[in-house]
């Protein structure tokens, strides 16, 4: 091939790639390249964001990447927004970001070190001026390190109540606690009875709590089963209070032998129109047996006439384009 022919071929490939991007009607699943799990999805201003766990052996989980999109179709990668080098107490197993914006600052809560009793680790907090970071360790120590009520301090989710109270739900090892955060996220605020921790564990809970509010009701969600196995799944409850009681409604996300296994540890994107909900989750491709080979996917999430969540179907198509602001 001479230089002229090569140039024409490159121009043709560029045109084809552009057309493919323009003609792409759905996100496809997985929506981002690489092994990523435990995705925390959120909307900041007019942009969708996903903050996942880098899915690798524990000793290699030393950083977080983030991904942003204006339409749910095309995603931009933001590399190493927080690394173990900037968290002096984190040595491994940096897991499951929980993110939120407050007072023009962006906060990223994370688990580190797969902490056990008497060890250094647990839930930390990092802060940045932009969603893509870079994030800096806010406390230079864990916010929560102790094993309280049997709950390993991991998998934190931050829930903002209508009165601007910030609750954090967290916990592994089959137990879930809720705590109240202070104004600058540097510590905990006691509940009315003087306690700092309140257990809210529902039936079959394992890890990965998530909460949203709809029509005055609190929808509490969690993961069941083992994260390394095919039976990992998501269940939920509906309550009148952020403290429950959370009576299990049933499973809404699970494996599909035609699509993928190990579907779980999710979050929910709620479009500002209040009508479109999206479940962002991880799953394991059928061809993969490595426990860390997990990918991040997205599906529409809908409700029946009684406000119950309909089972979410695993697909390869994903979702249609939808901008935050139309």
Q: Pick the closest to residue 97 from 184, 199, 168 (CA basis).
A: 168
Q: Alpha-carbon dihedral of residues 7, 11, 14, 15, nearest 10 degrees?
A: -170
Residues 6+ apart with CB under 8 A from 113: 89, 90, 91, 92, 93, 119, 120, 121, 122
Select which of 38, 114, 132, 299 is catalytic.
Answer: 38
Select which of 65, 132, 207, 299 is catalytic.
Answer: 207
Residues 160-177 as b/e (b if ≥16 CB within 10 A, e otherwise) read eeeeeebbbbbbbeebbb
Residue 33, CA distances (Å) to 30, 67, 228 in order: 7, 10, 20
Which pair of structure tokens corresponds to residue 291? 């426990």
Residue 284, CA distances (Å) to 82, 160, 291 in order: 25, 31, 8
**Catalytic residue check, 38:** yes
Taking the C-alpha atoms of residue 68 and residue 323, their distance in angstroms, rounded to an integer, is: 12
Sheet holding 76-83, edge to edge: 36-44, 47-54, 63-69, 76-83
Asked whether the CA dihedral 131, 63, 141, 181 is positive or negative, the reply is positive
- 3-state class of 245 per DSSP? coil
Angle at CA 49, nearest 5°, toward 297 and 267?
Answer: 50
Cα-flanking dihedrals φ and ψ of residue 46, to 5°? Answer: -105, 25
**Catalytic residue check, 290:** no
Q: Which residues carry out catalysis? A: 38, 207
């Amino acid at each position: 091939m001479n230089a002229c022919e090569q140039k024409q071929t490159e121009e043709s490939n560029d045109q084809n790639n552009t057309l493919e991007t323009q003609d792409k009607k759905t996100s496809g699943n997985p929506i981002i390249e690489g092994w990523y799990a435990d995705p925390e999805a959120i909307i900041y201003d007019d942009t969708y964001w996903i903050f996942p766990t880098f899915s690798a052996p524990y000793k290699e989980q030393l950083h977080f990447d983030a991904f942003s999109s204006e339409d749910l179709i095309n995603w931009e990668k933001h590399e190493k927004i927080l690394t173990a080098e900037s968290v002096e107490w984190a040595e491994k197993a940096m897991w499951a970001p929980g993110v939120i914006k407050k007072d023009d600052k962006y906060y990223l809560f994370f688990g580190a070190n797969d902490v056990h009793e008497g060890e250094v680790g647990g839930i930390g907090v990092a802060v940045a001026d932009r969603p893509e970071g870079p994030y800096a360790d806010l406390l230079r120590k864990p916010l929560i390190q102790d094993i309280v009520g049997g709950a390993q301090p991991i998998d934190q989710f931050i829930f903002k109540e209508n009165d601007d109270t910030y609750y954090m739900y967290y916990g592994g090892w089959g137990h879930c606690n809720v705590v109240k955060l202070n104004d600058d996220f540097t510590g905990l605020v006691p509940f009315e009875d003087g306690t700092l921790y309140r257990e809210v564990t529902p039936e079959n809970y394992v890890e990965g709590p998530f909460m949203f509010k709809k029509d005055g009701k609190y929808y509490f969600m969690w993961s069941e089963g083992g994260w390394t196995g095919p039976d990992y799944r998501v269940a939920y409850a509906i309550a009148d209070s952020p403290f429950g009681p959370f009576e299990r409604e049933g499973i809404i996300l699970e494996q599909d032998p035609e699509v993928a296994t190990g579907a779980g540890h999710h979050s929910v994107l709620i479009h500002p129109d209040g009508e479109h909900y999206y479940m962002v989750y991880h799953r394991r491709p059928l061809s993969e047996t490595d426990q860390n080979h997990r990918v991040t996917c997205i599906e529409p999430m809908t409700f029946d006439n009684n406000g119950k969540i309909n089972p979410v179907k695993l697909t390869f198509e994903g979702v249609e384009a939808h901008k935050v602001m139309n």
